[in-house]
Structure 1
Amino acid sequence: MKTITLLTGLLMTATALASHADEIKRVALPNSNFPISLAVSVPAQTELLFVSGLLADLHDPKASKDSFAAYGDTATQTTSIINKLKGVLESQGLGLGDVIQLRVFLVGDPAKGGKLDFAGLQEGYTPFFGSSAQPNKPARTAIQVVALPLPGGLVEIEAVAARKK
């Protein structure tokens, strides 16, 4: 009986999240399959959740904690951060499909001559947004910054998610 109740609760939650995601209007980039939206609008009766900038978890515990090797390359850090974001959202009854905006801060990668690794960002990002498993695309900004608060950090991501009140 508990299993049936749990499954029913999960199904109702998934249905509620899926139906809310449909209320958010996403404007696609013209003539593009790039995994971001040109613009996103939300209904007036919407609660917004602002998620502070998230940094990557330790990737290689054998590496010096203040090195880039400790946290991985841009793709690895992006994947780590989006998985962490997914956990934050789930703790609030939301999912990645409810994200309406992302701000990505990238440090120039020493391995790339000090330039931001946009291809690495995309590699870590695209499995989570605009895919067949999760087709919703947030509006997104990606900028290069001089440094992040995490020595060895190449990526920081902050998010805004929305849900019906």
Structure 2
Amino acid sequence: MLLGALPIEAEMHKRQLSVLYSILASENSFFSRIQEILKYYNLPTVSEFKDQLPSKMQWKKDINRTIASKWSTILQEEMEEKSTLKRCNTQMLKIHEVHPVWRTLLPLTYEVKKANIKARLLTGTYLLQEDIQRFTGNRTEEQNWQLCQIEKEDIVHFILKMHSVK
């Protein structure tokens, strides 16, 4: 008091509050970003969490459920707009659940390749001769299926009639 200076503890508090101001004033700070994330997921504020902090297990469970629910909604809306998913039952697709195309395969390279082809057929992104002709404008009726040489290469023939695929 004789020197007119603040105690060391008060100087520390000033510096800590100065750092707090820098964090709060910055749009890219951890604290600001956390506030945005909490708002995005409709979660309580930091101070509300601090007042009623759940157990760590409950915290993880609630956070994981909230994030999965939010992203399920977002992805369901996006899937409705995707033309490649018109053959899929998008209502059965969920976060943390694998599509049946991937669920049934064995951990073998050729099985993964087969599942990849199935997924591409399911989404309509597997290019058949018919698709290539449509894109290039080179439409000739005599271009048959390159593997079996029986009929023109389209999705119906590939899935239902081609013996080498079965």
TM-score normalised by the shorter chain: which range applies? under 0.3
Instruction: Please give the TM-score of this superposition, normalised by the length of structure 2.
Output: 0.25
State the structure with more CA Rg.
Answer: 2
Instruction: Please give the TM-score of this superposition, normalised by the length of structure 1.
Output: 0.25
Judging by fraction of residues, say which structure has more helix: 2
